[in-house]
């Protein structure tokens, strides 16, 4: 049998890779890709805890479904923002988008 | 080593390898395609965890909608930085250190937790987790309110996205 630790370590590694992507990438779309990796890592954790702690209570899976919905909303708004910024400034390099910087 | 463990190690290798490609590859279209590989690996994990509905939703929503949306966004904004210039910023080494520290910290924290080596209990025969999930999502005693709030959130986000990306000219 697979112990719970395998899933937790895998999702910790996936989360760290996503964090690296968010912090290190210059392209705003690539930053959103990193965010997706982190959300998936969280979802693996939620489902693994649901399965290993108490499969009769559906809280873990319901949380995972809410995360799906939030991820879809986040991507839709994020990509809408990126396309809007691209129209205005014709760049999507995160460090060049400094409209709000004083 | 059982077949299940071999399957887990294979899918974990696929997930981590393709995730590394997502954050390092130069061509963003390729990054989005590698993301699809990662999402497939995660769907396999859901299936291994008896969360069959989530495995299906992962393929339909994540791969079918979100990854395709990413590919569209890359194509719509590609002119500027095709494959020119560095794809990582100047402080990428710092980001790498932060990522490694996060992983180390999480691993240390989890290692000190008593339930770390817990194994899965058996799901009793006759229990239908997919049915339980459906009931939990619409039952007033369970999660009907978060479920409805999530649908309102999705609607608001979609209207917001259309408004943001709408070309007023």
Instruction: State the best of A27, A28, A46, A81 to mutate against chain B, taking most chain B CBs within 10 Å.
Output: A27
Question: What DSSP element (H or E) covers B136?
Answer: helix B129-138
Q: How high does pLDDT run on average in chain B?
A: 86
Q: Count the helix, strand and coil residues of chain B and give each as a percent rounded to the nearest 5.
A: 70, 0, 30
Residue A50 belongs to a domain? yes
**What is the total count of domains within chain A?**
1
Contact check, Cβ <8 Å, B20/A17: yes
Rounded to the nearest angstrom, the minimum Cα separation between A19 and chain B is: 6
Distance of CA B6 to the CA centre of its chain: 22
ipTM for this model: 0.90
Flag whether pLDDT at B83 surpasses 60. no
Q: pTM, whole model, 2 decimals?
A: 0.90
Chain A CA closest to residue B73: A79
| pLDDT tens track for B15-69 | 999 999 988 888 888 889 999 999 999 999 999 888 888 999 999 988 988 889 8
Tokens of A58: 């559906």
Contact check, Cβ <8 Å, A40/B42: yes
Instruction: State the best of B39, B50, B66 to mutate against chain A, taking most chain A CBs within 10 Å.
Output: B66
Contact check, Cβ <8 Å, A23/B39: no
CATH number where A31 lies: 1.10.287.3510
Residue A43 belongs to a domain? yes
């Amino acid at each position: 049998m697979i112990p719970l630790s395998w899933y937790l370590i895998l999702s910790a590694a996936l989360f760290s890779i996503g964090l690296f992507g968010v912090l290190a990438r210059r392209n705003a779309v690539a930053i959103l890709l990193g965010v997706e990796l982190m959300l998936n890592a969280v979802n693996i954790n939620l489902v693994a805890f649901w399965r290993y702690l108490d499969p009769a209570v559906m809280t873990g899976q319901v949380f995972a479904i809410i995360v799906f919905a939030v991820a879809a909303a986040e991507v839709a708004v994020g990509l809408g923002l990126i396309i809007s910024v691209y129209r205005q400034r014709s760049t999507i390099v995160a460090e060049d988008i400094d409209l709000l910087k004083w | 080593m059982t077949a299940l463990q071999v399957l887990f190690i294979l899918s974990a290798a696929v997930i981590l390898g393709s995730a590394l490609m997502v954050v390092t590859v130069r061509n963003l279209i390729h990054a989005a395609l590698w993301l699809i590989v990662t999402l497939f690996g995660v769907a396999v994990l859901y299936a291994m965890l008896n969360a069959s509905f989530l495995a299906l939703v992962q393929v339909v929503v994540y791969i079918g909608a979100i990854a395709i949306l990413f590919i569209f966004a890359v194509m719509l904004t590609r002119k500027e930085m095709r494959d020119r210039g560095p794809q990582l910023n100047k402080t990428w080494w710092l980001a790498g250190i932060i990522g490694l520290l996060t992983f180390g910290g999480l691993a240390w924290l989890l290692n000190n937790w008593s339930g770390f080596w817990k194994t899965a209990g058996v799901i009793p025969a006759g229990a239908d987790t997919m049915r339980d999930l459906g009931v939990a999502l619409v039952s007033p005693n369970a999660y009907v309110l978060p479920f409805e709030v999530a649908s309102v959130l999705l609607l608001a986000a979609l209207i917001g996205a259309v408004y943001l990306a709408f070309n007023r000219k």
